[in-house]
Amino acid sequence: ERVTSVALGFRAIRDGDYTQALKHFKYQGPNDLDRLMNQLLIAWTKVGEGKGKEALKLVQDLEGPSWYGIFRNYNVGVMAAMIGDVDAARKALTDTVTDRNGGATAPDTFARSVIALATLEAQAGNKQKALDALSAGDELITNFAPFKALRTQIESGDQPKPVVATAAQGAAGVLFSIGGALNREGAEDTVMLYLQLSHALDKDAADTLILLGGIAENAKQPEKAIAFYRQVPETSPMRRISELQLGLTLAETGKVQEAREHLLALIASDPQDIRSYLAYGSVLSDAKDYAAMADNYDKAIEIIGQNPARNHWSVFFQRGIAYERLKKWDKAEPNFNKALELNPDQPQVLNYLGYSWVDMNRNLQEGLEMIKKAVELRPDDGYIVDSLGWAYYRLGRFEEAVVELERAVELRAGDATINDHLGDAYWRVGRKLEATYQWKRALASEPEEAEVPKIQAKIEKGLPPIESDAAKVETKPVEEPKKDDKKT
């Protein structure tokens, strides 16, 4: 009933019938979220009716749990700015931008608040205050393209446009804010509905389209994601972000050559944008074209120069992976070390380098400690926990391997490699029936083609005795970062 009421209300707003919209928003749901959403939508409907002051007071008087704060203040701010109450707008938006807890809970609303405050100050002739607002935003959301674009615009003396210019945009923003805050595993269907309704009223909102694309990707609907990314306006500062995600998603649909050409064109259009190299490198990695991947990151690091920043750790890390896959460890290891120099507590790098050392029978204790530290930093990452278990296995510490690999399987039940590892560990501790079961699970979990005959052989014959030459622990490459980790 809630979604139906909102959908009908949004249709009425789109048609300019605010009286009819108000009737649909009278629905009172059973929880605080419903109450917040409906009160904000009622207020924006009143703005559409020309009752701006009444609407503003309705939002200012809205009471509820502490997490209401960022949503209430943002809407007060943009609503007050729209009806000309600059003082009320400034106070509310400043409260939003300084609300770090709220910003962490609803980063999309925080970002819009920063832009709204900077725009308000710029329009009032307060150039430095506008730039200060953007600096405050940078502290929570780094390297955000809309902040950079607005900073350039303000510094050049151009007047930015209002963030919210119509009641329809305001109403769309309510569902964008709530949808963005709810955007987590298990809520995808509801979030998608809210964001699509928001998009229907504010077609050019780039951040809405980017969120929709990401949700479609996570739902394994890449074609739908591509359609959303293509709709981001060419004039938007977020257009390049959408183009990068478009390239990654094209590759995911099997259009690898098109993805490569698309991302190479992005690199050519702005060779200084390191994100493009990371996106292109991700596609090359998935295609196992490690020579091209290494060359790509060589070029990126040449662009970075002699003084890399902390956030460049991923470029060195990915170049290290490329050289490691090319079996050029003498070139790989310095890149992993450089990545750790830039970001000492990065769990992916700690895991990869630590596992590689253990796998090569080098720096065994230091390597094991690195993997343990990575697990401490990401205790719920099944791939990293698997690395610790497999490192114990490589060291012949089979009982300890079983403990970690069982936990890894709990975290990533459908992963073929982890189930295969656990099967091996079970066999070594004498749990042969369970070992066979795990290998069968691994086989059913779509392992890489080269692993299928190996797993089948283990199901038929088990593992050879540990004493024999044939039973020497097989070298298995550490898991590469998954796609979510490689996105830019």
User: What number of helices (H) and strands (E) belong to the chain?
Assistant: 28, 0
Tokens of 80: 């007050």
Instruction: Quickly list DSSP for 67-98.
Output: THHHHHHHHHHHHHHHHT-HHHHHHHHHHHHT
Instruction: Spell out the alpha helix ranges (H) of 274-415.
Output: 274-286, 290-304, 313-325, 329-342, 347-359, 364-377, 382-394, 398-411
Instruction: Quote the CA–CA distance of 180 and 439 in Å, as a whole number.
Output: 40
Per-residue pLDDT tens over the stretch 377-422: 999 999 999 999 999 999 999 999 999 999 999 999 999 999 999 9
| pLDDT block averages, 10 residues each, the chain of length 488 | 86 94 79 91 96 97 93 98 97 96 93 98 96 96 93 94 95 95 84 95 96 94 96 96 97 96 97 96 97 98 96 97 97 98 97 94 93 97 96 94 98 96 97 98 94 96 75 53 44
What is the enclosing helix (H) or strand (E) of 260? helix 256-269
List Cβ<8 Å contacts ≥24 apart for 27-31: 27/1, 27/2, 29/2
Instruction: Quickly list DSSP for 139-164.
Output: HHSTT-HHHHHHHHHHHTTPPPPPS-
pLDDT for 186: 76
Residue 27 and residue 1 in contact, taking contact as beta carbons nearer than 8 Å? yes
User: In Å, how far from its chain's centre is CA 275?
Assistant: 14
Please count the CA atoms within 13 angstroms of the CA of 386 that sit on its side-chain side: 27
Q: Which amino acid is at 207?
A: D
Instruction: Spell out the alpha helix ranges (H) of 156-205.
Output: 167-182, 188-201
pLDDT for 472: 45
- Whole-angstrom CA distances from 27 to 5, 39, 65 are 7, 10, 20
DSSP 470: G
Instruction: Quote the CA–CA distance of 309 and 375 in Å, as a whole number.
Output: 25
pLDDT for 188: 86
- Residue 397, number of CB atoms within 10 A of its CB: 17
- Whole-angstrom CA distances from 412 to 265, 285, 383, 445, 452 are 37, 22, 8, 11, 19
Instruction: Quote the CA–CA distance of 454 and 412 in Å, as a whole number.
Output: 21
Which pTM does this prediction carry?
0.85
Instruction: Quote the CA–CA distance of 446 and 346 in Å, as a whole number.
Output: 30
Q: Domains along the chain?
A: 2-218 (1.25.40.10), 254-344 (1.25.40.10), 350-471 (1.25.40.10)
Q: Which of 245, 116, 98, 244 is nearest to 177 (CA)?
A: 116
Tokens of 263: 């991302």
DSSP 311: G
Residue 88 and residue 59 in contact, taking contact as beta carbons nearer than 8 Å? no
- Whole-angstrom CA distances from 100 to 88, 96, 123, 379, 410 are 20, 8, 25, 26, 34
